[in-house]
Amino acid sequence: MTSLYAPSAEDVMQRLRPYGFFFEKSLKDLIRGIRSHNDTPEQLEMFLEAQLSECRKEANSSNMELKTNAILKLTYLEMYGYDMSWCNFHILEVMSSNKLQQKRVGYLAASQSFHKDADVLMLATNLLKKDLKYANSNDVFKVGIALSGLSTIVTPELAKDIVDDLFLMLNSSRPYIRKKTVTALYKVFLEYPEALQSNFDNFTSKLEDPDKSVVSATISVICELSKKNPAPFIRLSPLLYEILIDIDDNWIIIRLLKLFTNLSKIEPKLKGRLLPKIIELMDSTNAASVLYEAVNCIISGNMLDETDYDVAVQCLEILHNFCNSQDSNLRYISCVLFYKIGKINTNFISQYDELIMKLISDVDISIRLKAIELLRGIVSEDNLRLIVSTLVKQFVGDEVAIVETSRGVSKEIPIVIPETYKIKIVDVILYICAMDNYANVDDFEWYNAVLYDLTIVSLDLNENKLGTKIGEQLRNLMIRVPDIRNITIVNIIKITSLESVEIKLPSILEGCLWSLGEYSTYLENGDALLRLLLKKAPHMQYTTQSTTIIALVKLFITWCNRNQDQAVQIKAILEKLVNFLSGLNYSKSFEVQEISLQMYEILKLSLEALEEQADGFPLLLSEVIPSFFNSYELTPISLGTQRQLPKGIDFDIDLPFLTNEQLDEVLKGQESLAEEDTDIYDSDRFSLASVEHNFISNADYSDGSSDSDGGKEHFDDTYKDFIDESCEVEHKKEMLSNPFYLGNINDTNNNNKVKDILDIGDDTKEDSINSADIMKLSKDHAELKSQVEAKKKKNKMKKKTKMKVLSDQVIVIPGVTDSVKLNGRKKHVSPSNSLLSNKINLKKHTKLEDYNFDNSKNDNDEEIQELEKLRSKFQNQNLDNVKMDDNNNEEEVIVIKKKKKKKSKKDVPSKKSKKDHKSTETTPEVSAEPLIDNAKSE
């Protein structure tokens, strides 16, 4: 039985508490609890939830000790992702405690949890003002804590209120406080740049402070400020230069170099004084970080000109040493600097090809990622093959890094090649090969093989952009390198017929299909390809589909004109085509719908004509549709040409394409030609060939086509040729796994197979569409092909003659200024940037960045005076309106506050505009508003 006076458990706890006895869970208990409840996530979750509600209770208690303890625990729990902003007011209470321990906890919690919480900050202002008062020696740390805390929670309003107190403290006798104040001012300046403007000299005088740590802090702050806005600090440069010469502290030297980098960016005159000093520093110091910073200062501070070979060599020597060091960090940062130097002048780095080749095989992928960017600086005709083969080999991914463990045992760790790096490889290979209109590629068959390999690799990379790029390369090859079109087209067919390419890498098809359609004359049996494409087309993307439709029509026209005698098959294919197009007539994509409808109607007409005209070949197919596509050869045209076209050209729409006489002639000719149909095609081709300038001579065509019997043999020859070439391709692995790379072993078998397929009738073809079957090259080109072959052999003998690569045609239209011309190729596009989606951006825009320090002090004073006037006016009015009800009063204040905020946020382009701004907006705002309210209340 308990006596009436016996203390309850609660009382006992209360009495013991001052002696340091706690019955609530301390932070230690919390951490131990977390560690012991670590078995399952659910268990931990439950434990933490329970703790959290306990903390909530404790934080609400009136006991300061308890409250502090709870806040400390909550701060710890915040690291586990539990929001603590609900207890901001409790934090404020703890912050206001007189005990240093509690204050420390309070400020710690505040710095983690106050995020522009306007209500709390308003209350915190007074507290901060109080805490910043320095009374006795014990207060040093109180002030220090308050300063640290202040800078994490500062807002423009708070900055404005507190800035005067801070400037007073700059003159404190304690270096510790001066140092902390200087750094705290940094955050204040960011939020409230006006403060820096009015106290510039006061602040920068700290550069001459007797205490080194204060100087160091001041330099840090100026350095940081100069990142945002270097202009006002230019005039400090003589003083800073003195410090740089005198000081021997590496920490400060590095900061000074950073600062000079920022200043030199906008003040080129600094270079003359600084550069000799920096070079001297580079010679004298041994510290890697100082060396690195010095080189960085020269490069980033625009102190290196394009022609400055001596300085460049000196910098590059240092970087060269870094790159050869064991420290992977040094290798990485010097790679980055290498890139920057290369950007200034590529010639600087061109001699470091060996080093860069070493770096792209570094054990560290992040170094490779950097080094791979450098390749474009060192690539040349001689080393292109080596570079590409080194890079492609990395796809295989069986490299290992040898790591020495702590016990001196070396261990092999496989290097994991991330997908981003693989994408980058493909990207870079394409870039360095296509550079300067294929200046570095000496063998386009090799490049074809590379493109094929890259396609295979890209299939698994899940990056659609690569497909577009490879497709563009194939198309470019097709257009620009006429000598190897027949090889490229085989390559394109192989790629198009890859299994599920339309799903895995749909973007590659656009370029491929366009080429197939445009150069369909190179293909012998277009029907097989047509069947294949018809099978694939329904699975394609809309954008690809619209290209496909045109390509299909082109292919069909070329093929049916060449095989006019096989009316049955033509009809069969045409029906299929019409069927396919009718399916697309209701496509969701407007573009596809339009094109398919157009083609559908025309082909349907052709089909009807074919059915009616049993004896001959319809004119529509032999003349009209080909004329859509074959009037002239397409050539590469430089970027921006279209923009130069004069506007508002008039067309005579009424003029008929053919006069009546011409029409009669054509019709007559049609009739007569129908009898010997093979010749039509030839004549058509002649006219085509005569237009082509850089193309094969007419003789080739006529020779080839007249020799119609030898088609199969020719085909066999070409195919064999291709097999021979493919043997040269370096990547054996892919060769084996890929049915289209036919190794030596399968050579004869496959040849037989090809023959078999050819012998089998057309009926079976439909079921087994084989890409080898489609790959029949036009017999016309077999001859040409053998010529190329001969040429190639000659090349191999010794002298390498470059293949002709068509360059961009520049069409000059009279009367158009040259300034419109674009150098699109020179544009440097870094591909990696676009890969990043939903970025976190650390670069915060601060007011300081666009704050104009040029306003001279006088103007400023004038402005302040004006502002004062307005204020007094406003106050008077307020006094007059005392009767006004509270609501109205509050509203009014808020309105004005908002206006002020806006004003301070705005750029201040010149003093005049600011003044105008004020006189037009602020004054009526202040004077007019209460008047209306007055009228209402009266």
Partner 1 sequence: MSHIKYLLLVSRQGKVRLMQWYTPLTPKQKTKIINDLTPLILTRKPKMCNILEYNDHKVVYRRYASLYFICGITNNQDNELLTLEIIHRFVETMDTYFGNVCELDIIFHFDKAYDILNELIMCDGSMAESSKKEILNNIHAMDAIQNNDHLDRVLS
Q: Which of residues 334-373 bind partner 1 (CB under 8 A)?
A: 363-367
46 or 400: CB nearest partner 1: 400
Q: Using H for helix, E for strand and C for coil, what is the string for 268-317?
A: CCHHHHHHHHHHHHHHHCCCHHHHHHHHHHHHHCCCCCCCCHHHHHHHHH
Question: Least separation, in Å, of the C-beta of 100 and partner 1?
Answer: 5
Site for partner 1 in 623-652 (CB under 8 A): none
Q: CB nearer to partner 1: give 143 or 775.
A: 143
Tokens 């490889």: give the residue. Answer: 425
Binding residues among 277-296 for partner 1 as defined by CB under 8 A: 288-289, 292-293, 296
Give, as ranges, the residues between 483 and 542 that touch partner 1 (CB under 8 A). none
Shortest Å, Cβ 885 to partner 1: 38
Cβ proximity to partner 1: between 105 and 508 the closer is 105
Closer CB to partner 1, residue 132 or residue 788? 132
Distance of closest approach, residue 210 Cβ to partner 1, in angstroms: 15
Quote the least distance from Cβ 736 to partner 1, whole Å. Answer: 31
Which segment (2-10, 146-154, 658-666, 783-791) binds partner 1 by CB under 8 A? 146-154
Q: Which span (159-167, 178-186, 380-388, 428-436) binds partner 1, by CB under 8 A?
A: 178-186
C-beta of 179 vs 685, nearer to partner 1: 179
Q: Tell me which residues in 83-122 interact with partner 1 (CB under 8 A).
A: 83, 99-101, 104-105, 108, 111-112, 115-116
- Looking at the Cβ atoms of 36 and 913, the one nearer to partner 1 is 36
* Interaction residues for partner 1, span 298-327 (CB under 8 A): 300
Torsion, Cα of 432, 433, 437, 438 (10° steps)? 140
Which of 318/624 has CB closer to partner 1?
318
The Cα angle at residue 776 between residues 774 and 777, in degrees rounded to 5: 130
Candidates 329, 380, 389, 683: give the one binding partner 1 (CB under 8 A).
329
Of residues 96, 152, 644, 888, which one binds partner 1 by CB under 8 A? 152
Are 250 and 282 in contact by the 8 Å Cβ rule? The answer is no
Number of residues that bind partner 1 (CB under 8 A): 81
Q: In this chain, which of 62, 136, 138, 737 binds partner 1, going by CB under 8 A?
A: 138
Identify the residue among 793, 798, 843, 883 touching partner 1 (CB under 8 A): 843
63 binds partner 1 (CB under 8 A): no
Least CB distance to partner 1 at residue 20 (A): 7
Least distance (Å) between residue 767 CB and partner 1: 49
For residue 332, which of 300, 297, 370 has the smallest C-alpha distance?
370
Please pick, from the candidates 132, 195, 223, 371, the single residue that binds partner 1 as defined by CB under 8 A: 223
- Of 55, 124, 254, 560, the one binding partner 1 by CB under 8 A: 254
Sorted by sequence, the CB contacts under 8 Å of residue 509 that are 6+ apart come out as 467, 471, 496, 501, 502, 540, 544, 547, 548
Rounded to whole angstroms, the Cα distance separating 445 from 405 reads: 47
Choose, by CB under 8 A, the member of 90, 331, 469, 731 that binds partner 1.
Answer: 331
Work out how close the CB of 466 gets to partner 1 at its nearest, in angstroms, rounded to a whole number.
21
List, as one string, the DSSP characters of 799-864. Answer: --PPPP-PPPB-PPPTT--GGG---GGG----TTGGG--S--------GGGG--TTS-HHHHHHHH
Chain residues 808-837 in contact with partner 1, contact rule CB under 8 A:
836
Q: Tell which one of 128, 221, 392, 430 touches partner 1 (CB under 8 A).
A: 221
Radius of gyration (C-alpha) of the chain in whole angstroms: 40
Only one residue has tokens 């790159």, namely: 323
Residue 328 in contact with partner 1, rule: CB under 8 A = yes
**To the nearest whole angstrom, how small is the minimum distance from the Cβ of residue 17 to partner 1?**
9
Least CB distance to partner 1 at residue 657 (A): 58
- What does the alpha-carbon distance between residue 94 and residue 106 come to, in Å, rounded to a whole number? 5
Q: Is 29 in the site for partner 1 (CB under 8 A)?
A: no
Question: Could you tell me the smallest distance in angstroms from the CB atom of residue 262 to partner 1?
Answer: 8
Pair type for strands 400-404 and 410-414 = antiparallel
Work out the number of other CB atoms within 10 angstroms of the CB of residue 360.
22
Report the Cα–Cα distance between both ends of the chain, in Å, rounded: 74
Which CB atom, from 403 or from 931, has the smaller least distance to partner 1? 403
What tokens does 882 get?
Answer: 């005392």
- Contacts from 468-473 at CB under 8 Å and sequence distance 24+? 468/507, 468/508, 468/510, 468/511, 469/426, 469/427, 469/430, 470/426, 470/430, 470/508, 470/511, 471/507, 471/508, 471/509, 471/510, 471/511, 471/512, 472/511, 473/430, 473/433, 473/434, 473/511
Least gap, CB of 842 to partner 1 (angstroms): 5
DSSP 80: T
- Residue from 840, 879, 882, 935 in contact with partner 1 (CB under 8 A): 840
Q: Which is nearer to partner 1, 406 or 737 (CB)?
A: 406
Please give the angle made by the CA atoms of 220, 222 and 223, to the nearest 5 degrees.
60
* Polymer length of the chain: 938
Of residues 197, 226, 247, the one with CA closest to residue 300 = 226
Q: From 236, 143, 151, select the one nearest 191 (Cα to Cα).
A: 151
CA-to-CA distance for 813 and 880, rounded, in angstroms?
A: 75
Ranges within 258-277 binding partner 1 (CB under 8 A): 258
CA distance 556 to 570: 9
- Does residue 715 contact residue 680 with C-beta atoms inside 8 Å? no
- Give 65 or 524: the residue with its C-beta nearer to partner 1: 65
Nearer to partner 1, 213 or 390 (CB): 213
- Output 147 or 621, the one with its CB closest to partner 1: 147
Among 192, 260, 332, 600, binds partner 1 (CB under 8 A): 332
148 touches partner 1 (CB under 8 A): yes
Alpha helix locations (H) across 676-710? 677-691, 698-706
Lay out the site mask for partner 1 across 182-201 (x = CB under 8 A, - = otherwise): -xx-xx--------------
The SS3 of residue 411 is: strand
Smallest distance, Å, CB 421 to partner 1? Answer: 12
Q: Toward partner 1, which CB reaches closer, 27 or 727?
A: 27
Q: Contact, 296 vs 261, CB < 8 A?
A: yes
Residue 730, token pair as written in the block: 């370096």
Nearer to partner 1, 340 or 504 (CB): 340
Residues 390-419 that bind partner 1 (CB under 8 A): 401, 403, 413, 415
Q: Any contact of residue 255 with partner 1 (CB under 8 A)?
A: yes
Cβ of residue 11: shortest distance to partner 1, in angstroms? 18
Which of 37, 174, 227, 504 touches partner 1 by CB under 8 A? 227
Shorter beta-carbon distance to partner 1: residue 290 or 549: 290
Q: Which residues of 837-849 are buried (b: 16+ CB within 10 A; e: fewer)?
A: eeeeeeeeebbbe
Which stretch, 252-260, 431-439, 708-716, 867-875, contacts partner 1 (CB under 8 A)?
Answer: 252-260
Tell me which H or E stretch contains 455. helix 444-459
The CB-of-843 to partner 1 minimum distance in angstroms stands at 7
Cα 621 to chain centroid distance, Å, stands at: 48
Would you say the C-alpha torsion 811, 813, 814, 815 has a positive or negative sign?
Answer: negative
> How far apart are CB 458 and partner 1 at their closest, in Å?
23
Rule CB under 8 A: which of 156-175 touch partner 1?
none
